[in-house]
Chain A
Amino acid sequence: MSAQLLFAALVAGSLYALVALGLNLVYGTLRLLNIAHGDLVMIGAYVSFWMLSLFGLPPVLSIFVAAALCGGFGWVIYVGMFRKLLATPALAQRLEANSLILFYGVSVILQNCVALAFTSTARGYQYLNEVHKFAGIAASGNRLMLFGVALALCLGMLLFLRFHLFGWSLRAVIERRDAAAVVGVDVDRVQMVTICIGFAIAGVAGVLVSMTEQITPFMGFPFTIAAFVVIVLGGLGNIFAGIVAGFALGFIETFGVALTSATYRSILIYGLFVGVLLLRPQGLFGKAIKIR
């Protein structure tokens, strides 16, 4: 029984880690609070649904379509809205607070456009739902895939940040934008690529979610909240700690609900959020965990 619970916690945790990773990258490099992040997850979910229904394209391939679509949306948002604002120091300072409202607008527009286009009827599909039994666990194929893809993307991003020159320049921008420019980093390009990557990751997470959950235009908000809880837990802009915190939230939620009942789920998550903000605003790990 506890092995089953452990698996459930890992699956939930990997998803939270992935969704929060995209948000954290965008916050860290651009200082934008993307309250529409969960809606990109929703877009990814619809991409997966329609690709399968219309073209018979399986989710494992829709991942690329969703990544391209959401990443492209990130590019449009950056070039159309934020490039100019970020390049002007006076505007950039106010932008962090204003971004919340800007993205709230984006969120409402996305939700309503999708609702208009596809109605708010809940959708769903069956994919890889055969159950595999091993090591005392009964695991559906789609959950195994969700876990595998989410974990691979999180680890891949960590390796990229650890070993690749572009990864270092990304970390340099997160730590000190002016110093990054001083050494010759093209900060504008790093920001553009990062928003594309962050948005693409959310789209991929949406594809993964859609395999196991119902799809509606308004499914995104809980993911936005979960992602914010995770990056507050880990410390804003701290990528590695954010991934650890994603798994931590998966465990807290899964085991917390198992010990109490499903009605406590929201109380747990919001309680954690408020508790951490009050007691450890620098994040659970503070400065203790950093990627080298």
Chain B
Amino acid sequence: MSGPIEPLLAVKGLSSGYGPVTILREIDIEAAPGSVTALVGANGAGKTTLMKTIAGLIPAWTGEIRFDGQDITRAATHHRVDQGIVLVPEGRMVFALLSVEQNLRLGAIAPRARKNVSERLEDTFRRFPRLHERKGQLAGSMSGGEQQMLAIGRGLMAKPRIILLDEPTLGLAPIMVKQVFAVIEDLRKDGYTILLSEQNSRLALEIADYGYILENGRVQLSGPGPELVDMPDVRRLYLGR
């Protein structure tokens, strides 16, 4: 394909974990601008831990995280958000006691996102008409699929330069899973850079420009998404056939 592109996000030799327990070991991943990068692997492989470490919710023990050439390994979470690294967390984490609109507006609290909030709110409502219908409602009163859309919408309000989508289809009905993937395709068309973690490995790799297969906190395999899907070993070991 084309020559080497400067990655927007580059993780090198990263390890982290919880308390005394090491989860991630020597992780190297990159995300090219405008691409969809998939992180797949079984439950417990370390996808969420990696997302949290990139977002700064848990500290990196070793290695470095570079964003747009800058070292952000030690930056506070809200500073990373202000640089455009926006996590849409596993389990959605919407504010149940705030209204849909308040959730969205709060998504624009980072200084870089404070201007033109109302326009961006309109854009978000256009992308997710359902949120517009429910804007005055408490977020906690919505269905899981709607809350996922809200979590993504809230992330978009922050003017992300990269969106970290952590298991966005977790616990959703098959029809909602389809919708979430349709949203991801739309975001890619609009030029967003996406790091997507998924247990639906096949679906994720099929739409990914590049994919990483995680196992026990290590990267086992990586390559262009569709190529990974076609590899017999990958099919047998990770895709269940």
Contact = CB atoms under 8 A, between A and B. Distances in A.
Contacts of A184: 77-78, 81-82, 86, 107, 109-110, 113, 158
Interface in B66-119: 76-78, 81-82, 86-87, 89, 93-99, 102, 105-107, 109-110, 113
Interface in B182-240: none
B57 interface: yes
B105 A168 contact: yes
Q: In which size bucket is the chain A interface? A: 20 to 34
B4 interface: no
Interface in B38-83: 55-57, 76-78, 81-82
A34 to B, nearest CB: 23
Contact of B106 (A165, A181, A290, A291): A165
B174 interface: no
Interface in B155-170: 158
Contacts of B77: 181-182, 184
Contact of A183 (B19, B136, B158): B158
Determine which residue in A165, A182, A186, A292 has the highest number of CB atoms from chain B within 10 A of its CB, and name it.
A182
Interface residues of B, number: 30
Contacts of A181: 56-57, 77-78
B97 A186 contact: no
A187 B78 contact: yes
Contacts of A178: 57, 93
B158 to A, nearest CB: 6
B154 interface: yes
A172 B105 contact: no
A interface majority secondary structure: helix
A182 B97 contact: no
Contacts of A54: none
Given A172-B98, A178-B93, A183 B105 contact: no
A172 B57 contact: no
A2 B95 CA distance: 43
A183 B89 CA distance: 10
B76 to A, nearest CB: 8
Contacts of B142: none
Interface of A: 90, 165, 168-169, 171-172, 175-176, 178-179, 181-188, 290-292
17 contacts: A171-B95, A171-B98, A172-B98, A175-B95, A175-B98, A176-B93, A179-B93, A183-B81, A183-B107, A184-B77, A184-B81, A184-B86, A185-B78, A185-B109, A290-B138, A291-B97, A292-B99
